[in-house]
Structure 1
Amino acid sequence: MIHVEIIQPTKKGLKPFIQLPFDIYKHDKNWAPPNRKDLIRTLTGKDNEFFSRGIQRYFLAHDDEMPVARVLAGIDLRMSTRVGETVGYICLFESFENFEYAQAVLDAAMRFLREHGVKKVYGPVAPRYDLLNRGVLVDGFDGPPVLQNAYNTPALPQILEKYGFEKWRDYLAYDIPVDTIPIDRILSMANRIRNRFGFRVEHVNFNRSNLIRVAQDIAAVIGEATPDEPGSYMPTPEDLLQLFKRIKPWLRNQSAVMAYAGNKPIGVVIGFLDSSPSVIGTDGRNTPWNWLRRVIKTPQTKTARCPAQYVIPEYQNKAVNTVLLAEAVRGAKSLGITRIEGSLVDETHIQSVNNTQSAGGKLYRRYRVYQLSI
């Protein structure tokens, strides 16, 4: 018999909620498990502004005693205040391939959201403000995700659509072979471009003493370059500090650059090393064996992910992005990187799409955020 329980956001209470995808994907060689400790900290609200400024409920469906589907449903008070309507969301949706399991847990989540005045729901979104995860994979199931991107089977979006969710927006992932980017030609013109438009380029310094300034500058650029709208989330400096903390093993100064006009940050391009090779096949725990695997695998990775490529409107169409990208790629090559995934590129941001394609990017994956009127 299928029944749904509300999970308490404690370390003990969340254990079966977190374990479920480990059971669903235990035979899937492409699944890259999350770090359990980091996820517990996120879901218990530690260092997570997304939760501290919202209301959440955790729902877990059982078939008799066996957990079979889960979802987190919530209200984003920060976004609701900005857009003037109560915005609901779902995240961490997982289910075995049985529509009745998914329907049970989604029905419970929608009842909760309706009771709190929500009329439209977006998702799946990440359970925190970050740059790495949005939507569910709907195209490109032939390999593992790159640096904490979403991963799921084709059944998951099919279940959401059968339930009544409709496409809101797609976020695109591009495969960019490093050798296709004409770095030398761009950099030969870089000084002339910088002098003409009055900006300079600096590599990001991820040293601990400099992180607050880095987070403030990147948040300022993203906030100015991206419009506010339901379903989109602008990271604060604190959000970015927590992101850098979570992915510290894959941060490299060489592949992250910012542009400044005087003291004003005007653009950013960041590349992080891919974490998937070091976590696939692990149990998501902080054991000595998993630590050793990460130490060995991380320097061997040939893939980086570029999740942040922003220029403020005043400096768009002035080759700022081109110079930033060339500098970041030159740094990535020095680390042995041969391939970059550019993601997540909002399909409605035509300039970002064009910039990525002009850099040699080939669309190879698509992630979808859905919407549902309730």
Structure 2
Amino acid sequence: MKEVNSHSDYLDFIELPFLLYRDNPYWVPPIKKDYLLYLKGKNNSLSSCPHKLFLAIKDFKVVGRLLVFIDIELNSYHSEKNGYIAEFESIEDVEVSNLLLDKALEFCKEHGMDFIKGPVSLPGGEDHRGFVVNKFNTPPTVMNIYNFKYYNDYWMDYGFTKYYDCYAYRADKEDLRDNVHRIKEILPKIVKRFNYRIDTINLKDLDKDLSDIYEVLNLALPREWKDFKPLSLEEIHETFQLLRPFMDTDFICIARNSEEKPIGFNIALPDYNEILIKLKGKMGLAGLVKFLYYRKKIKKIRMFVLFVVPEYRKKGVSAAIYFKCFANAINKNYSQLEGSTIWEYNKAMITDVEKFGAKRDIIYRIYKKEIQY
């Protein structure tokens, strides 16, 4: 086992999945230079959290990796002591997996944690969450994960049990035609009755719109959701700066009432994985040409955040946002919609997305293990 310290160690950490999945047509490689920044906490909150990255070495070759961290702010907010694992990869060798998990467990014990959970996003993230458990013959959408089936077996053999599942719901425009027609008929009456409207984000007045998103998020985030904490306005600004090169303003909506108060919002992105899978981890001149060419051919969008303030739930706001976003997508020749990753305890969103006509597709499982001293 080796702790990641040097630049070459980081490069080895990054390179491993390129080797593991080189013959797999479904894995989507990240852009290496961006992924390096991600691992170093340059575009997330990892740098403010105790963390370590480990490599497993066998016969002088890297055969496994993981990242383990303590999210101090999340633990403090919920008065818990949890350690977290992310970015796990291993060859098909249970001993390699066990050695990696031993290191993660050791790190969490050193910090006095009660439980260890994973795989999860890095702090504040909405990506790389869980292990796929049910569908391994399709590429993931943007910011979602792909993995070998045996990862689940290795973690359970080690003593991990299911914590929660997160779901990806998918629909083609043909699947939604009847529901969209029905919603189109009744939605104007609902919107008029409760007196609100749906806007798309305005980049010319971004400060105001991000302040409105901040207000909604902190009113709408249920206190009992142990895997989330409120974001600061600064964190929201940082997130949008990262998303800005990839966002389409027609897919980010804000609901406001007659008094101009924000009451809901969503964030959806075009599925850039449809392009990344062709770039093989590199964004040179040739990659840029491919990127610019294929971005107009993307067929899917992923909605990964939707919140509505409590007093406007069950008043059609979620449906109105879904409808606005999907109608905009259809007008731009997109043909598929995914809502993910929806935690299984988010019953309201599951109900809304199923009523809209989407079907549960991929299941991403997060595991937990009590730490014994």
Q: Same fold (TM over 0.5)?
A: yes
**TM-superposition CA deviations, 1:151-187 (whole Å, max 9, x none):** 1111111111111111111010111122415435434
Structure 1 position 274, deviation (Å): 0.5
Establish whether residue 225 from structure 1 lines up as the match of residue 216 from structure 2: no
Question: What displacement does 1:266 show?
Answer: 1.3
2:144 aligned counterpart, secondary structure: coil
Aligned counterparts of 1:214 and 1:141: Cα–Cα separation in 2 = 38
- 1:313 Cα shift? 1.4
RMSD after superposition: 2.0
Q: Give the aligned residue type for 2:114.
A: K
Which residue of the partner structure matches residue 121 of structure 2?
126
1:347 aligned to which of 302, 327, 344: 344
Alpha-carbon separation, structure 2, partners of 1:37 and 1:245 = 17
In the alignment, the residues of structure 2 paired with residue 33 and residue 155 of structure 1 have an alpha-carbon distance, to the nearest angstrom, of 20
Unaligned runs of 5+ in 2: none
Equivalent residue number for residue 55 of structure 1: 50
- SS of the aligned residue for 1:351 comes to helix
User: TM-score, structure 2 length as denominator?
Assistant: 0.92
1:40 aligned residue: 36
> 1:311, CA displacement in angstroms?
1.2
Q: Show the 5 A alignment for 1:108-257.
A: 108-179=103-174, 180-181=176-177, 182-205=179-202, 207=203, 209-228=204-223, 229-257=225-253
SS of residue paired to 2:22: coil
CA deviation after TM superposition for structure 1 residue 22, in Å:
1.0
What is the CA–CA distance in structure 2 between the aligned matches of 1:222 and 1:141, rounded to whole Å?
33
1:15 maps onto 2:11 in alignment: yes
Q: Which moved further from structure 2: 212-221 or 338-347?
A: 212-221
**CA shift digits 1:87-123 (9 cap, x unpaired):** 2111011111111111111101110110110110111
Bigger mean CA deviation after superposition, 311-320 or 279-288? 279-288
Query: Which stretch shows the higher mean deviation, 220-229 or 157-166?
Result: 220-229
Gap regions ≥5 residues in structure 1: none
Distance 1:142 1:288 in 2: 31
Q: CA deviation at 1:249?
A: 4.2
2:118 aligned partner, one-letter code: G
Pairs within 5 Å for 1:313-352: 313-352=310-349
Q: Report sequence identity in percent.
A: 28
Q: 1:236 to 1:365 in 2, by over 3 A?
A: farther
CA contact (8 A) 2:180 2:356 kept: no
Distance 2:117 2:221 in 1: 18
The 1:154–1:58 alpha-carbon spacing in structure 2 relative to 1, beyond 3 Å, is: same
Instruction: Report the 3-state secondary structure (helix = DSSP H, G, I; strand = E; otherwise coil) of the residue aligned with 1:139.
Output: coil
Q: Whole-Å Cα distance in 1 between the matches of residues 114 and 92 of structure 2?
A: 28
* TM-score normalised to structure 1 length: 0.92
The answer on 1:360 being equivalent to 2:344 is no
Is the Cα–Cα contact under 8 Å of residues 126 and 143 in structure 2 kept in the other structure?
A: no
8 Å contact from structure 1 (residues 129, 234) kept in 2? no
How many equivalent pairs are there?
A: 367
Residue 144 of structure 1 and its aligned partner are, at CA, apart by: 0.3
- Quote how far apart the aligned CAs of 1:269 are: 2.7
